[in-house]
Structure 1
Amino acid sequence: MALGATVLPQGPVVEHLRVKVPADARRAWLQAEEASWGPWLRRQDGFLGRDLLWDAEREEGLLLIRWRSRRQWLAIPASEIETVQGRFEAAARRALAHDPEARGPAGAANPFPLVHAGELEWLALTPPVEEEGR
């Protein structure tokens, strides 16, 4: 291996994304995610699961998407991702327009713009602690 060469993870990897989600638009964001990315991800080879979290201080959604391998994740064609992203944005605009409490930008191309994207090498999983008496 050449000096300074990067070793890419061979095992599981976690894609992490941060998107801008105003507090009053969380329900619309979750609806749009489940209407678009949720079903599509479940059909992808190597998809292990996804966690949707919300940071109240930053008003951002955090998505942790687990993949069996980096190779399987990166094998997805960019054109397919763009198609699903278009469905997500359309679903988000519809959800915002139907939610009287949401004041998010319902007319924006992407009401929940990407703030950051990255990947993490998955080293270990700690199982949940079992409660006594169960």
Structure 2
Amino acid sequence: DQTSCWRTAEAEVWEPWLEKQSGYQGRELLWDRDRQQAVVLIGWLSQSEWDAIPAGSIKKTENRFDRVLQRCLGSGASKPLPLQRTGSLQPIQ
């Protein structure tokens, strides 16, 4: 099922990668049952620490995540669960 495959791929790929990054403050994994979509909130000490991560490192990790999903879901799609939206949020002071 999509939810268990997504959680497996998150735990196997993104979690260990994120934990090695400077400024990483943790994340929250949420699942919208009605839309069958995930929401991931990732905390960083600062925007500049996130921006300092090389784009190639992020892309490599994203590709590995997709391969784990492909195997789990038995899908040939290059993006089995495509990213819908990204953005940056700031806490209300």
Equivalent residue for 1:52, pick from 20, 29, 36? 29
Q: Which residue of 2 aligns with 1:19?
A: none
Render the CA deviation track for 1:84-126: whole Å, top value 9, x for unaligned.
Answer: 01110011111213xxxxxxxx1110111011111110236xx
Q: What is the letter of the counterpart of residue 58 of structure 2?
A: I
Q: What is the letter of the counterpart of residue 86 of structure 2?
A: A
Max Rg structure: 1
Matches within 5 A, 1:11-22: none
State the structure with bigger RCO (CA 8 A, min sep 6), 1 or 2: 1
In structure 2, the gaps of 5 or more residues are none
Q: What is the letter of the counterpart of residue 118 of structure 1?
A: G
In structure 1, the gaps of 5 or more residues are 1-23, 98-105, 125-134
Alignment partners' CA distance in 1, 2:43 and 2:92: 12
Q: What is the letter of the counterpart of residue 60 of structure 2?
A: T
Whether 1:29 aligns to 2:6 is yes
TM-score (norm 2): 0.94
Whether 1:122 aligns to 2:91 is yes
Alignment partners' CA distance in 2, 1:27 and 1:68: 29
Q: What is the letter of the counterpart of residue 41 of structure 1?
A: L
TM-score (norm 1): 0.66
Whether 1:109 aligns to 2:78 is yes
Percent of matched pairs sharing the same residue:
41
Give SS of 2:66's match: helix
The structural deviation recorded for 1:81 is 0.4
Q: Which has the higher helix share?
A: 2
Alignment partners' CA distance in 1, 2:47 and 2:90: 9
Whether 1:85 aligns to 2:54 is no
Q: Which has the higher strand share?
A: 1
